[in-house]
Amino acid sequence: MDQIPTNKIIVLYDGDCGLCNRAIQILLKEDPADQFRFVSQQADLGKSILTHIGYNPNTLDSLVVYHPNVAYYTQSQAVFYLCKFGSNRLKLGLVFRLFPKAILDGVYNWIAENRYRWFGKNEHCLFPNKTYRDKFLT
């Protein structure tokens, strides 16, 4: 756990999920303050972080956003947390917080249940180019 930067927001994502990998590509470009770091939930470090925060590392049903020494977030709340700290374009997504959490999480879960069917399952984890390599934790 020593390799986890405590001053960054850690995004734990399903490395096999096509939708998740596309979302990471967007987040890489929409992080002007360089606050996000990424790790696959299937990676050893990802599993260690999930265990550390008390989240089942065998459950790949949600994006998990961990802000060390602050809190962790799942489902729609994880998405909104990223919008809050991302670019102004991402901040526009915060308008959806007007909807009740139960509805937002219901939509999130429906998309999560169908993500492999709709967006495919990757054979290999995302491999970042030189520009973004330091943003991925190993």
57 near 108, Cβ under 8 Å? no
Q: In angstroms, how far is CA 47 from the centroid of its own chain?
A: 14
Q: What is the pTM of this model?
A: 0.92
Q: Where are the beta strands (DSSP E) in 14-119?
A: 36-40, 64-67, 71-74
Chain segment 22-80, per-residue pLDDT in tens: 999 999 999 999 999 999 999 999 999 999 999 999 988 899 999 999 999 999 999 99
Ramachandran angles phi, psi of 129, nearest 5°: -80, 175
